[in-house]
Amino acid sequence: MNRRVRFLDTRPLRRSRPFRDLWIGTSASQLGSQIATVAVLAQVWDLTGSTVGTGAIGLATGLSMVVFGLLGGTLADSVDRRALVRATTAGQLLVAAGLSAQAVAGNRNVVLLLALVAAGTACGALGAPARRTFPVRLLPADQVAAGLALTNVSFQAAMLAGPALAGLIIARWDLPAAYGAQAVTTMVSVLAVIRLPAMKPEGADTNHTRRRPERGGWRIVLRRPALWGSMATDLSATLLAMPIALFPLVNEIRFGGNPQTLGLFLSAVAVGGITAGILSGTVTRWRRGGLVQLCAAAVWGLALAGFGLSGPLWPALGCLAVAGAADTVSVVTRSALVQLETPDAYRGRVSSLEHVIGVAGPELGNFRGGLMASATSAPVALVAGGLSATLAVAAVAATNAFLRAYRTPPTPDEQSAPETVDAATVTG
């Protein structure tokens, strides 16, 4: 196999107009979401002046994500997924308009603001499982990982550019302009979804808009070792080694609490993720997706342990960049594996479970890290967490041969190629 380094695989954008529309709409929505996140944070702080108030943002979004994400999985296996995403994206547009209106009106009621935030999150969570199934329906199997890598790159770029852009907009034109920018980007997302083809779950009755989902939608994860192994790998990495909550304490201990250094920590993770995304053509063509995810998750844990041991700034930033790159590789390969390994009739519910793990794992991991650091120290929490995550991933690898051996489906060219006869089989 040709192992030369390849840059971002852009075949999905060049060869599939529906996927290109989806990518443009998703990228715009992600940028608007990052702008709105900063605007909400600034407005809540202005209204309350309290970390309890800003912490309530996480409560409002977290509960909505979990509850409506699971419900969205069932709906995604019951109705036309395009219609579901159309409706939920339109709901997000209405919420964005409501946020703009309350800012223009000079709202001073934080409960109203948080209710709008929760409503917008609920709409997004309802549509997220269905949206996750789109790439595997729009792309050939050998391009699904590449499509997910493109989506991940746009997400990382939004994380870098969105907050900075939000700061500029708020400083010059105030909060209504920031919420207005979110409304514009959400409108782009709505238009993109409208252009997509219908995507009813396989086996659905074409004469009806709703059907009863296939039974066993949640149990299928346990019945397929590659699925539960992939999700267990992700949960091990995030639950045991999530570092974000420890950044302020590390910054205080080692770098005098300089806010610029704290920003560099977050930027280093994003830079590593974007770099891995740009070079993702190297790994998205590899068919050993399970092994790639296991290796990337192990590197994530080791890199964060290295961050805990690093004294000077540049080695610390280097470790975070490696962790960010490993996280991107792990996320892309896991997402492709889950979508390809799950029968279409169950993809909505399995995608919702993946979504909940992706949301809850990092949040619980940050909470775990904070508790451990309060009992010991930030470096100890980082090193112990990173090594524990690596050991947990190794345990999954050792006990799940299906995940280690998992291969993505062959390309059409490989399927049509004549089979070769193994000499050992003939003589054996």
Class (C level, CATH) for 13-195:
mainly alpha
Q: What is the CA radius of gyration of the chain?
A: 22
Cβ distance 296 to 389 under 8 Å? no
Both tokens of 142, joined, read 């050998």
pLDDT at 362: 82
Predicted confidence (pLDDT) at residue 207 exceeds the cutoff of 60 = no
User: Mean per-residue pLDDT for 219-245?
Assistant: 89
Tens digit of pLDDT for each residue in 47-99? 988 767 776 877 788 788 888 988 998 899 889 999 999 999 999 999 999 99
| pLDDT, average across residues 241-265 | 80
Residues of the chain with CATH 1.20.1250.20: 13-195, 218-409
In this predicted structure, the answer to whether residue 414 has a pLDDT above a threshold of 90 is no
Q: Is the pLDDT of residue 420 over 50?
A: no
Check pLDDT > 80 for residue 287.
no
More confidently predicted of 260 and 301: 301
Q: What is the C-alpha separation between 225 and 227, in angstroms, rounded?
A: 5
Task: Report the alpha-carbon distance of residue 139 to residue 15 in Å, rounded.
Answer: 9
pLDDT of residue 217: 59
**Per-residue pLDDT, 418:** 44
Taking only the tens place, the pLDDT of each residue in 289-332 is 899 999 999 999 999 999 999 889 999 999 999 999 999 999 88
Average pLDDT, the chain: 85
**Identity of the residue numbered 233:** T
Helix (H) or strand (E) holding 75: helix 51-76
Is 195 in a helix, a strand, or coil?
coil
pTM, two decimals, is 0.75
Q: Is the pLDDT of residue 152 over 70?
A: yes
In the DSSP assignment, the letter for residue 287 is S
- For 218-409, which CATH class? mainly alpha
Q: How far apart are CA 407 and CA 426, in angstroms?
A: 25
Query: What pLDDT does 321 receive?
Result: 94
Q: Which residues contact 360 (CB under 8 A, 6 or more apart)?
A: 62, 66
More confident residue, 372 or 367: 372
Q: Which two tokens stand for residue 376?
A: 């010991």
Q: What does the alpha-carbon distance between residue 320 and residue 317 come to, in Å, rounded to a whole number?
A: 5
pLDDT > 80? residue 261: no
Q: Residue 368 corresponds to which amino acid?
A: R
Query: How far apart, in whole angstroms, are the C-alpha atoms of residue 153 and residue 281?
Result: 12
Q: Over 90: is that where the pLDDT of 269 sits?
A: no
Any residues with CB less than 8 A from the CB of 108 and at least 6 apart, and which?
47
Compute φ and ψ for 79, nearest 5 degrees. Answer: -130, 175
Closest by Cα among 359, 109, 343, 67 to 217: 343
- The amino acid at residue 279 is L
Mean pLDDT lowest among 19-28, 211-220, 276-285: 211-220
Which of these, 367, 316, 338, 351, lies nearest to 128 by C-alpha position? 351
End-to-end CA distance of the chain: 27
Q: Of 229-238, 366-375, 406-415, which range is least confident? A: 406-415
Confidence bin at 1 (pLDDT 50/70/90): very low
Burial 140-157 (b: 16+ CB within 10 A, else e): bbbbbbbbbbbbbbbbbb
Exposure class string for 229-254: b at 16+ Cβ within 10 A, else e: bbbbbbbbbbbbbbbebbbebbbeeb
Quote the CA–CA distance of 188 and 29 in Å, as a whole number.
8
pLDDT category of residue 212 using cuts at 50, 70 and 90: low
C-alpha 76/C-alpha 344 separation (Å) is: 10
Q: How many CA atoms lie within 13 A of 154 on its CB side?
A: 20
